[in-house]
Structure 1
């Protein structure tokens, strides 16, 4: 299989100018470039530009996926929407990083899994993840906590210093970890967050505040009237200057206040979370194995009890005169043989099988399959 790298960038706050698009074209002659996006796939070679610099100067979101296991999401937000001091507690090694430019905060979240399965032709797109940017901008820190959990799992695999796990503190725990949004669930999947680790972490998370219904004109009118005149003028100026995707979000956030999930101080260490998730995973697997074992024990008895129905189904498969139907008949016969043996009725099965072979001796395809599986 050839090398595969997928790059996608999106501009959300404003469209790219013609000059900016030309600057990006100098980086790649093959990329698909529009006023709001830059996408390219590489099977040989690589992007000549620096994704960090490109995101800092032109874009608000960047996705990078490779067939050797790298998943990376980079987001750019206004400094006032997500201050650096708020993001820093969730940063861990190179897996979660945050830095600022003069006007923005940049957040980079990376997951590496060289041994993971690669699905060629998978739908690699920012579309399912882009919603976390608005969630972060409105104070919902669940995406940051998910990125920290992803980094914690990778850190465990890379490091063998247990002392670090005991001294590494848990960052603030957002409410609603047990009820993720669609975008957050997609992010958890993209960053390969361990489900047991997330379940353990969610035990310290309170319920997220319920979102109210779409506001009515009657509800919004007094809220708008109460805005200071200077603030109204600033909002109208932003509207007059051109399309601005975040304008409505900012206005609604201002009118209705911050309804994003709150956080509580993290009280657990990385070691506590990893140990608890290991215990949960082990217990879950043991329960699943007990269920499977019980099902295996019940299956022969149930199949032997319904033997006549099974024989009728076998005969129907044979009557179809198709190779796939013969295979289904043989599979069911094999299971039925084991069921008869389980109930100590081997003689009954052999007698019935002998009649079946005699009735179908002119079907060489079926007889060959029966012989091959020891059904004589």
Structure 2
């Protein structure tokens, strides 16, 4: 099997100017490059740059995968977005690069064993903007997911602040992240139990109030924003807030409550039992819905059986493979419908007449051999 590598990066705040695009072109002559994105794949060879360096200099989100199982998701945040206390634990799945301006989070998988292709990559990439926005607004659950995975791997992991986040109701994007990175759901549930029963810090997730923010801007800050807008042609909310941020970056709180292996361990057995019950209930509900849908479809087919017999014969009269396939589908559906309505004798009579009428069509009868 040949090697295959996929890279995709995007700029969410502002644009890549002509100089930046030209610099990127020297890195890859075959990449698709625009004012906001960079995408390339390789069957042989590799990118002539370190992805994390490209991210720090040019982009806000990025994704990489290789067909031997390596996956990296990149999310760049303004410096000081996440407190140092939250990023101090060791994890093979989370790497952090920081400079004076940015925090770059890299979520990694060394060996992904399930099938994965460009469509899957594009689907996950489309979630990264929402995940980045959540992190910037104070929703730090992705980092806690990686802590749980590290804990599940070796049972010993450095403590992180115990902050109240909602781990019982996850958005589609967050669920997608948990699925791709194989986050242990029993531990997620155990963490939710910890937060319900243990002292913890409140999350500082505040809704942006535009009127209040605008009212508090000085004339100098307004001039700065207007100048930046004219220079770039666009100014995102995140950029505007960063340019007018009044509190210093990297100011860590003093945390009193901490998540440790000792804190979460007593809840794991209960969480596993509860998760199994919930999964069994969800499966039973799904099967009940599927059964109801199946019974409705069979009832509809039985009520329209004359039309179905007619359609089966019309398809058989086409005397071609696709026609015989369609006729076979109608007849198998009819068999199930008659069986569901306990009317097998009537089906047997009608089917016998159908076979006699199509006795010369051996290819069709072969498709019906299990009904003969």
Q: So what's the TM-score if we normalise by structure 2?
A: 0.69
Distance 1:251 1:53, change over 3 A: closer
User: In the alignment, is residue 335 of structure 1 matched against residue 336 of structure 2?
Assistant: yes
User: In the alignment, is residue 266 of structure 1 matched against residue 259 of structure 2?
Assistant: yes
Which residue of 92, 96, 99 corresponds with 1:98? 96
> Partners of 1:167 and 1:333 in 2: how far apart?
60
Equivalenced residues, count: 343
Residue pairs, 1:234-245, within 5 angstroms = 234-241=221-228, 242-243=231-232, 244-245=235-236
In the other structure, the counterpart of 1:175 is 165
Contact 1:176–1:208 under 8 Å retained in 2: no
> Partners of 2:290 and 2:137 in 1: how far apart?
51
Shift of 1:93: 1.9
In the other structure, the counterpart of 1:357 is 352
SS, match of residue 132 in structure 1: helix
Residue pairs, 1:102-113, within 5 angstroms = 102-112=100-110
In the other structure, the counterpart of 1:247 is 239
Distance 1:83 1:283, change over 3 A: closer
Shift of 1:112: 4.7
In the other structure, the counterpart of 1:258 is none
SS, match of residue 113 in structure 2: coil
> Partners of 1:205 and 1:45 in 2: how far apart?
48
> Partners of 1:368 and 1:254 in 2: how far apart?
80
SS, match of residue 124 in structure 1: helix
In the other structure, the counterpart of 2:139 is 140
Distance 1:129 1:190, change over 3 A: farther
> Partners of 2:180 and 2:266 in 1: how far apart?
24
Q: Deviations over 1:171-210 (max 9, x none)?
A: 5344233344565445445434455654554445579899
In the other structure, the counterpart of 1:58 is 58
Contact 1:140–1:174 under 8 Å retained in 2: no
User: In the alignment, is residue 118 of structure 1 matched against residue 116 of structure 2?
Assistant: yes
Contact 2:299–2:337 under 8 Å retained in 1: no
Distance 1:18 1:173, change over 3 A: same
> Partners of 1:134 and 1:288 in 2: how far apart?
31
Give the alignment's Cα RMSD to 1 decimal.
4.6
* Runs of at least 5 residues in structure 2 that lack an aligned partner in the other structure: 197-201, 248-254, 316-322
Contact 2:65–2:71 under 8 Å retained in 1: yes
SS, match of residue 73 in structure 1: strand
* Runs of at least 5 residues in structure 1 that lack an aligned partner in the other structure: 256-262
Judge which range, 98-107 or 291-300, deviates more: 291-300
Contact 1:145–1:173 under 8 Å retained in 2: no
> Partners of 2:76 and 2:177 in 1: how far apart?
16
SS, match of residue 29 in structure 2: coil
User: In the alignment, is residue 368 of structure 1 matched against residue 358 of structure 2?
Assistant: no
Residue pairs, 1:1-376, within 5 angstroms = 2-13=2-13, 15-16=15-16, 18-88=18-88, 91-112=89-110, 114-122=112-120, 124=122, 126-149=125-148, 151-152=149-150, 156=152, 159=153, 164-165=154-155, 172-181=162-171, 183-193=173-183, 197-204=187-194, 215=210, 219-220=211-212, 224-226=214-216, 229=218, 232-241=219-228, 242-243=231-232, 244-245=235-236, 246-250=238-242, 265-266=258-259, 275=269, 278-287=272-281, 309=303, 312=306, 315-321=309-315, 322-332=323-333, 334-335=335-336, 349-350=344-345, 352-358=347-353, 360-364=355-359, 365=361, 368-369=365-366, 372-373=369-370, 375-376=371-372
> Partners of 1:175 and 1:140 in 2: how far apart?
7
Q: Deviations over 1:275-302 (max 9, x none)?
A: 5554345334544666688899999999
Contact 1:166–1:271 under 8 Å retained in 2: no
> Partners of 1:338 and 1:11 in 2: how far apart?
59
